[in-house]
Amino acid sequence: MSEENIIIRPETKDDYKVVENLTRESFWNVYRPGCMEHYVLHCYRDDPAFVPELDFVMELNGELIGQVIYVRSEIDCDDGRKVPIMTYPVAFSGICDTNYESFFSSDDAAAQVEYNTGDQKLYLVARRYTVTVRTQGGGTATATSADAGAGSEIVLTAMPDTGYHFENLTADQPGVQFVRDETANGRFTFTMPAADVTILAVFSTHDFTAENAEEMYLKSAATCTEKAVYYKSCTVCGVSSEGTADAATFVSGDLLDHDWSEPDYTWTVVPDGYMCAAYSKCKNCNTDVSDVASVTYAVTTEPTCLQEGTGTYTATFSTAFGFPMQTKDVTLPATGHDWGKTEYTWTSTKDGYSCTAKRVCKKDDTHVETETVTASCSVVTEPTCLTTGLGKYQASFEADWAEDVYKDVSLAALGHMYGDWVSNGDGTHTRVCKRDASHTETGDCTGGTATCTAKAICEVCKAEYGEKNPDNEGHTIEVTFVGDTSTPETGDSSQRLLWITLLLASGFGVTGIVLHGKRQKGKNKENIR
């Protein structure tokens, strides 16, 4: 590199000794001899070594005025560090407040000299080329720099307008490659070529036809009754159609289906029995449902007179919500007896009558209640000697289901209760009924034997009656036979014959009396009334 009498040449050992620019403080001292000011170039090394191929000096009319150093992109330090540094050559001017930029030209198209007015130094820098960014379609694109040196990293940002997506980047220089920055949306990098470059960012309208059932596109989650709804996305860039004029959706996946909680059943008394309502709530969506069942009733266990029964209500629900059939048992009270008419049975006893009250349940003829009492008797009409009377028996029960009952009985005629027979003095006798003096009975006296000295004595009234019987003297003849019975008869037997004749005569007389007595008794019986 040269301009008039300024020369940049490789540094030599003599230059090193003259300028004494290598220090242990790890920086280069570059100065113009005799000038009180100097400039410092940090070396980034702890103990740099002389590198002729990297270090150069500047001379003006043979006088050393500065150094030029081409710095590597990375320097290996003695302690093992790798220190990144600038990638373009830098020139330092050792002359104060002087711009020598116009004095330099370069035979390297990638380098040029620039004067920094801030620190008033000359820098050998990479040549800068322009970066032009254009767009096609709806979107914006920018570069981090409008110009840059070859090999520099340029950052591009390409952002589509609403309704558009980024398609691609192209460059009018060959070899330019764009690298997408995955950490930032719409950002790319490329290495600056050694030429001016024009970048074209192409944008196209979205094609919202892609159906991707992913969380980022979810509009509404699936419910028990509806599938999940997603926004359609761009087939190119994947952006959601949500919020755009072309927003479109699609459904995907399965229904959740209701997960019903355990139903609650409510039985309510109504005039004709019971009604039943079912209620349940979905665990997923909190939807609640209810249904009123159709209820039927049947007696499952018949009640009896003494035992309770069971009635069952059956609730049948519609198929809309799937509630299962339910039943409710109710206790049926015992029906109690349905007694038939009370029957009464009279039984004759030695003392009168007893009466048994009996009733039988119409529902169960084995259910029988009885009560037996002794009836009391009262005379309604007294009986007489000749006529019957009327008696009434009354049966009174303790049971409230039995009433007092009565039985009429005929009282037998008392019959006569006669006194003793009394002689009437005329061969008859009479007796009078003690119950009724008008009732008399008269009969002929009978029995007994009249003698020549006494009348006959009536065997009934014990009075004498009739006449004496002269034929029946009524004397007793006592005959005594004297003599030894063992001695043969030797005398007159005419006396013995006489006595036998008398005895026979007496026998005939007795027979007559007996026959007469029997006839008199027959007459007495005929006169009784």
Q: What is the pLDDT of residue 364?
A: 93
Q: What is the pLDDT of residue 139?
A: 94
Q: What is the pLDDT of residue 310?
A: 97
Q: What is the pLDDT of residue 151?
A: 87
Check pLDDT > 70 for residue 313. yes
Query: What rounded mean pLDDT belongs to the chain?
Result: 77
* CB 510, CB 516: distance < 8 Å: no
Neighbouring CB atoms inside 10 A of 387's CB total: 12
Q: What is the pLDDT of residue 518?
A: 38
Per-domain residue ranges of the chain? 2-126, 128-205, 208-252, 264-332, 343-411, 422-484+500-526
Check pLDDT > 90 for residue 55. no
* CB 377, CB 348: distance < 8 Å: no
Binned at pLDDT 50, 70 and 90, residue 60 comes out as low
C-beta pairs of 268-271 under 8 Å, 24+ apart in sequence: none
Mean pLDDT in residue range 315-335:
94
123 forms beta bridges with 114
Tokens of 287: 């939807």
CA–CA separation, 296 and 183 (whole Å): 72
Q: What proportion of the chain, given as a percentage, has pLDDT over 70?
A: 67
Q: What is the pLDDT of residue 102?
A: 65
The answer to whether the Cα torsion of 257, 263, 266, 272 is positive or negative is positive
Cα–Cα distance list, 205 to 157, 221, 261 (Å): 18, 28, 50
Q: What is the pLDDT of residue 7?
A: 57
> CB neighbours of 458 closer than 8 A, spacing ≥ 6?
421, 423, 429, 445, 446, 447, 448, 464, 465
E strand or H helix that includes residue 497: helix 494-526
Q: Among candidates 218, 200, 326, which has minimal Cα distance to 263?
A: 326
Mean pLDDT in residue range 438-455:
91
Mean pLDDT in residue range 303-319:
95
Q: Among candidates 163, 230, 172, which has minimal Cα distance to 197?
A: 172
N-to-C CA span, the chain? 202
CA–CA separation, 193 and 183 (whole Å): 25
Neighbouring CB atoms inside 10 A of 57's CB total: 23
Q: What is the pLDDT of residue 286?
A: 86
CA–CA separation, 268 and 255 (whole Å): 36
Q: What is the pLDDT of residue 105?
A: 60
Q: What is the pLDDT of residue 322?
A: 87
Check pLDDT > 90 for residue 506. no
500 phi, psi to nearest 5 deg: -65, -40
Check pLDDT > 90 for residue 122. no
CA 448 and chain centroid, separation? 117
Mean pLDDT in residue range 358-381:
94
Instruction: Return the minimum-mean-pLDDT range out of 174-183, 425-434, 492-501.
Output: 492-501
Q: What is the pLDDT of residue 39?
A: 34
Check pLDDT > 80 for residue 213. yes
Q: Among candidates 202, 177, 172, which has minimal Cα distance to 190?
A: 177
Predicted confidence (pLDDT) per residue in 20-49, tens digit: 443 323 233 333 333 333 333 333 333 344
Between residues 244 and 375, the one the model is more confident about: 375
CA-CA-CA-CA dihedral for 293, 299, 300, 305, to nearest 10: 150
Q: What is the pLDDT of residue 27?
A: 33
Instruction: Return the minimum-mean-pLDDT range out of 34-43, 270-279, 453-462.
Output: 34-43
Mean pLDDT in residue range 182-198:
93
59 forms beta bridges with 7, 64
Q: What is the pLDDT of residue 43?
A: 36
Q: What is the pLDDT of residue 23?
A: 33
Q: Among candidates 73, 88, 174, which has minimal Cα distance to 123?
A: 88
180 forms beta bridges with 188
User: Pairing state of beta strands 128-136 and 326-332?
Assistant: unpaired
Q: What is the pLDDT of residue 471?
A: 80
Q: What is the pLDDT of residue 114?
A: 72
Q: What is the pLDDT of residue 117?
A: 78
Mean pLDDT in residue range 249-275:
93
CA–CA separation, 6 and 4 (whole Å): 6
CA–CA separation, 23 and 490 (whole Å): 233
CA–CA separation, 224 and 261 (whole Å): 14
CA–CA separation, 250 and 228 (whole Å): 8
Q: What is the pLDDT of residue 136?
A: 96
* Three-state helix/strand/coil letters over 346-411: EEEECCEEEEEEEEEECCCCCCEEEEEEECEEEEEECCCCCCCEEEEEEECCCCCCCCCEEEEEEE
Q: What is the pLDDT of residue 258?
A: 83
Tokens of 180: 């997408």
Check pLDDT > 70 for residue 83. no
pTM, rounded to two decimals: 0.40
